[in-house]
Amino acid sequence: MEMHTDRLVLRDYTVDDFAAVHAFASDPRIATFVDWGPNTEHDTRHFLDTCVTSQTVLPRTEFSLAVTLPGETPLGSVGLTVDEQHHGHLGYVIGAEHWGKGYATEAAACLLSYGQEALMLERIEATCRPANLASAKVLEKIGMTLEGLRPNDKFVRGTWSDSLVFVVIRN
Ligand SMILES: CC(C)(COP(=O)(O)OP(=O)(O)OC[C@H]1O[C@@H](n2cnc3c(N)ncnc32)[C@H](O)[C@@H]1OP(=O)(O)O)[C@@H](O)C(=O)NCCC(=O)NCCS
C-alpha cells in the first residue's frame, strides 16, 4: 500500500526499515505522551514484524504506514486500526528532528481520508493526553472534533492518565 501527499509518501513497512524506525522510536522525546517506547531493538523488531504480518490479513484492519519523504527512509509513522465495530483509531509519531514542519498533519489527514472514503468508516477516533498540545493541534487541523475527556483512560509507566477524545463522523 502506498499513498502520496503534497510532500510525503506513506507506504507499507518492510523489515529493512529497522534502522530508521529504531532511530526515532528509541528517542526518549517521543515517549513523553505515548504508552510505548522508548523502544528497545526488540520492541522495534516486534513492531515491524507485526506491521508486515498485518499487510497480508484480509480484510485488512491494521494500517501502520511509514511516513517518508520521496526516496528516503521513514521519518515517522502513521496508523489506522479498524476495530470489530468498524470504527477507526488513528495515531502518529514523527521523529523529533522533524517536528513543526506539518508532517504529522499531512500524514494524518491522508490516512483519515482513506479511512472515511476507501474504508467507509462511520466513526474515526483519536486520543491524546491533555498535555500533548502538539497532538491536539494536529487533530484539530485535520478536522476532528473534541468529543470529551476520558478520565483515567490509560495506565502508563505506573500512572493513570486522562485522554482527550477527538472524533470525526462520516456524513
Ligand atoms: C505530536 C506530533 C506527532 C506532532 O508532529 P508534527 O509533525 O510536529 O506536527 P505538525 O507540524 O503537523 O503540527 C503541530 C502543531 O502543533 C503546534 N505545537 C507544537 N508544540 C506545541 C505546543 N507546545 N503548544 C501548542 N501548540 C504546539 C505546532 O505549532 C503546529 O501547529 P501549527 O501548524 O498551527 O503551527 C509529534 O510532536 C510527535 O511525534 N510527538 C511524540 C509522539 C506523540 O505524541 N504522538 C501522538 C500521540 S496522541
- The answer to whether residue 32 sits within a structural domain is yes
Instruction: Break the chain down into helix, strand, coil percent, rounded to 5.
Output: 35, 35, 35
β pairing state of 145-156 and 62-68: unpaired
Residue having the nearest C-alpha atom to atom 45 of ligand 1: 93
pLDDT in the model for residue 68: 98
> What pLDDT tens digit does each residue of the chain (171 aa) get?
999 999 999 999 999 999 999 999 999 999 999 999 999 999 999 999 999 999 999 999 999 999 999 999 999 999 999 999 999 999 999 999 999 999 999 999 999 999 999 999 999 999 999 999 999 999 999 999 999 999 999 999 999 999 999 999 987
- The answer to whether residue 139 sits within a structural domain is no
- The answer to whether residue 151 sits within a structural domain is no
- The answer to whether residue 154 sits within a structural domain is no
Q: How far, in Å, from the CA of 57 to the mean position of ligand 1? A: 32
- The answer to whether residue 112 sits within a structural domain is yes
CA–CA dist 134, 119 (Å, integer): 27
pLDDT in the model for residue 110: 98
Q: How far, in Å, from the CA of 58 to the mean position of ligand 1? A: 33
Q: Is the CB of 24 under 6 A from ligand 1?
A: no
Q: Is the CB of 70 under 6 A from ligand 1?
A: no
- The answer to whether residue 61 sits within a structural domain is yes
Write b or e for each residue in 8-25: b if 16 or more Cβ atoms lie within 10 A of its Cβ, otherwise e. bbbbebeeebeebbbbbb
- The answer to whether residue 45 sits within a structural domain is yes
Q: How far, in Å, from the CA of 24 to the mean position of ligand 1? A: 15
Q: Is the CB of 30 under 6 A from ligand 1?
A: yes
pLDDT in the model for residue 44: 98
Q: How many structural domains are present in the chain?
A: 1
Q: Is the CB of 38 under 6 A from ligand 1?
A: no
pLDDT in the model for residue 81: 98
Which CATH number belongs to the domain containing residue 64 in this structure?
Answer: 3.40.630.30
- The answer to whether residue 158 sits within a structural domain is no
pLDDT in the model for residue 171: 77
Q: Is the CB of 89 under 6 A from ligand 1?
A: no
Domain that holds residue 73: 2-124
